[in-house]
């Protein structure tokens, strides 16, 4: 439309359009976030107050009682990451947060997990010009991502989902399922059996549900 200013690379980061990430405006902001992430990774684990303060500064949103073990890696230092309440992430979490990542309350993330929002064209001539696109990731409440899980751009994962270690999530997952594999697929639903047993034949004390 006449008179409309064309979108710049900074705006295109969040539209799914192809853009050029090596834009001086983007790079300046990114460097600032990465410098602060460096501070987080080099703050002593015993200094929890300072670590929490830096996390709240880094993330777009962070609920109460969240913790991310170090080392923690993020393209934009967590600047486009939205955590609900009581989210825990183990060592070596990698967030390719070139656009938004949403994680619901009470979700647990195992060690060496990667959640990526950035992609590149398959055609090599555009990759050679450094074109990129970003698609947001949505992870529901009360999920558990096992060690080494990889979540690809544009994925939505429902509530109460358990994803087995080493799985690569290439398609959306519905709520209330156990999913495994490469590519990740639904193995079964979360069921009453899971309220009786927590590991093989190890039974759950019913009193725990009342605590």
Catalytic machinery residues? 120
Q: Give the integer Cα–Cα distance in Å for 122 and 79.
A: 27
End-to-end Cα distance, the chain: 60
Does residue 98 have a cis peptide bond before it, meaning omega lies within 30 degrees of 0? Answer: no
Three-class HEC string of 28-69: HHHHHHHHHHHHHHCCCCCCHHHHHHHHHHHCCEECCCCEEC
């Amino acid at each position: 439309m006449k008179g409309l200013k064309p979108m710049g690379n900074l705006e295109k980061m969040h539209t799914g359009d192809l853009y050029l990430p090596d834009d001086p405006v983007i790079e300046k902001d990114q460097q600032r976030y990465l410098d602060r992430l460096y501070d987080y990774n080099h703050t002593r684990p015993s200094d929890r107050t300072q670590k929490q303060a830096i996390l709240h500064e880094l993330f777009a949103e962070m609920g109460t009682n969240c913790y991310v073990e170090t080392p923690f890696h993020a393209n934009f230092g967590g600047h486009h990451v939205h955590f609900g309440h009581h989210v825990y992430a183990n060592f070596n979490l990698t967030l390719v947060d070139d656009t938004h990542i949403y994680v619901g309350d009470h979700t647990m993330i195992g060690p060496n997990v990667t959640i990526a929002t950035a992609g590149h064209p398959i055609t090599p001539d555009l990759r050679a010009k450094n074109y990129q696109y970003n698609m947001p990731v949505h992870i529901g409440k009360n999920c558990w991502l096992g060690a080494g899980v990889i979540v690809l751009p544009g994925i939505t994962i429902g509530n109460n989902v358990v994803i087995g270690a080493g799985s690569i999530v290439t398609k959306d997952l519905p709520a209330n399922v156990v999913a495994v594999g490469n590519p990740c697929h639904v193995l079964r639903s979360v069921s009453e059996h899971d309220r009786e047993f927590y590991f093989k034949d190890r039974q759950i004390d019913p009193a725990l549900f009342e605590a």
